[in-house]
């Protein structure tokens, strides 16, 4: 079976070429061709000798996805892709157009093990982690299909990125490499439901990417009901890891808040949330719940505005996000790729983490 070259880091390609008896500069030519020029096959590399092209063609591949379906919103041009992976499993990813901002929302796992009650992806359970190549290929293929030049990448698609830490960080390194895909590091956002050990790790490794944390509740009692991960890691433990991250890196955190009618948007909830995040430099991204479950409804416009005003009066910067692509099931929390029953669950995730 051919290996996927998208699984190789920039530092690993020279070692591969050394084993072929090729000079190091050939590795740089390959890396630039794959990412800067978006070559999808080896014959496209006119600057490589034919003997090397033949060797690479026999042993490696640059594409493994099959596009099953593509949806485009008539309202805002948000585009959702359903990809089939080489083993037959399926994932979804999304392009969001917002003026000059073009965001790629990508997946890190096939499904998700965290079972957040308002999220469709959680209903899939987890089939497996994505490889570095499968994470990278989403961006490579969407870049080819995007109407405009992409500006941002968010790990907010299917899966919990911090439970696939190594592959996510390796992919982000390729996205931000100046000879690779060339994204600004601060415009690559890792969104997590809250895995404190990995937040500490991000801080200690001084990872240059933005951190977004889905808080979604002002108290442990509420959060535990809608986000089962809080049974493993309490809200206090999560907030401690966020403070540590801010102290060590000096970087702000984005607090994500899914507003759910009757659950977390009352005046009291807003004031509790202010107390929770007090003195932690950051910003708030809030969005109305997109769940099809009648238990988890979006609040009224009045409730959303009241919640927003209380935060603003307390000098807490808050942005109420619009629900882009909701009519094509592409909005936050709506991604669900139907997969056949594979008879497998978590394969190489440390079960102590969840």
Query: For the domain 66-353, what is the CATH code?
Result: 3.20.20.70
Of the residues 22, 61, 92, 308, only one is catalytic, namely 92
Average pLDDT, integer, range 93-110: 95
- Regarding the domain delimited by 3-61, which CATH topology (the fold level of the hierarchy) does it fall under? DNA polymerase; domain 1 (1.10.150)
Does residue 181 sit in helix, strand or coil?
coil
pLDDT band, residue 348 (cuts 50/70/90): very low
pTM for this predicted structure? 0.92
What confidence tens digit (pLDDT) does each residue in 66-99 have?
A: 999 999 988 888 999 999 999 999 999 999 999 9
As a whole-number percent, the residues of the chain with pLDDT over 90 amount to 84
What confidence tens digit (pLDDT) does each residue in 3-24 have?
A: 999 999 999 999 999 999 999 9
In the chain, which segments carry CATH 1.10.150.530? 3-61
329: how many CB neighbours lie within 10 A of its CB?
17
Q: Is 144 exposed, middle or buried (0-12, 13-18, 19+ CB in 10 A)?
A: exposed
29: how many CB neighbours lie within 10 A of its CB?
17
pLDDT for the residue 290:
84
Instruction: Show the DSSP H helices in 266-351 as ranges.
Output: 267-277, 301-313
Is residue 92 part of the annotated active site? The answer reads yes
Q: Are 42 and 62 in contact (CB under 8 A)?
A: yes
In the chain, which segments carry CATH 3.20.20.70? 66-353
As a whole-number percent, the residues of the chain with pLDDT over 70 amount to 91
DSSP conformation letters of 27-67: HHHHHHHHHTS---SGGG-TTS-HHHHHHHHHHEES---EE
Look at strands 79-84 and 66-72 and give their pairing.
antiparallel
143-147, 162-166, 326-330: the lowest-pLDDT one: 326-330
Look at strands 3-4 and 188-192 and give their pairing.
unpaired
Is residue 289 part of the annotated active site? The answer reads no
Give the Cα-Cα-Cα angle 294, 73, 181 (nearest 5 degrees). 110
pLDDT band, residue 346 (cuts 50/70/90): very low
pLDDT for the residue 291:
78
């Amino acid at each position: 079976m051919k290996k996927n070259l998208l699984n190789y880091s920039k530092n690993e390609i020279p070692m591969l070429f050394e084993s072929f008896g090729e000079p190091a500069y050939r590795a740089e030519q390959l890396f630039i061709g794959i990412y800067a020029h978006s070559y999808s096959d080896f014959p496209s590399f006119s600057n490589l000798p034919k003997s090397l092209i033949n060797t690479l063609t026999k042993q490696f591949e640059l594409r493994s996805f099959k596009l099953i379906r593509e949806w485009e919103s008539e309202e805002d041009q948000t585009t959702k892709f359903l990809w089939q992976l080489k083993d037959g499993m399926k994932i979804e990813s999304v392009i969001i157009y917002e003026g000059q901002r073009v965001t790629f929302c990508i997946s890190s796992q096939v499904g998700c093990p965290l079972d957040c009650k308002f999220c469709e992806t959680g209903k899939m359970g987890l089939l497996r982690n994505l490889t570095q190549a499968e994470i990278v290929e989403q961006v490579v293929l969407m870049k080819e299909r995007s109407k405009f030049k992409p500006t941002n990448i968010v790990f907010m698609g299917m899966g919990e990125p911090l439970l696939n830490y190594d592959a996510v960080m390796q992919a982000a390194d390729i996205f931000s490499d100046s000879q690779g895909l060339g994204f600004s590091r601060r415009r690559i956002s890792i969104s997590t439901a809250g895995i404190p050990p990995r937040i500490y790790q991000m801080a200690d490794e001084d990872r240059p990417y933005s951190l977004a944390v889905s808080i979604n509740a002002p108290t442990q009692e509420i959060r535990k009901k809608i986000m089962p991960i809080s049974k493993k890691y309490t809200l206090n433990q999560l907030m401690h890891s966020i403070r540590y991250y801010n102290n060590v890196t000096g970087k702000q955190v984005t607090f994500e808040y899914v507003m759910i009618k009757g659950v977390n948007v009352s005046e009291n909830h807003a004031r509790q949330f202010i107390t929770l995040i007090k003195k932690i430099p950051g910003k708030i991204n809030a969005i109305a719940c997109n769940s099809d479950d009648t238990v988890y409804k979006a609040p009224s416009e009045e409730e959303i505005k009241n919640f927003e005003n209380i935060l603003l009066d307390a000098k807490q910067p808050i942005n109420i996000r619009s629900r882009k692509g909701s009519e094509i099931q592409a909005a936050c929390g709506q991604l669900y790729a139907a997969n056949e029953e594979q008879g497998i669950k978590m394969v190489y995730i440390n079960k102590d983490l969840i």
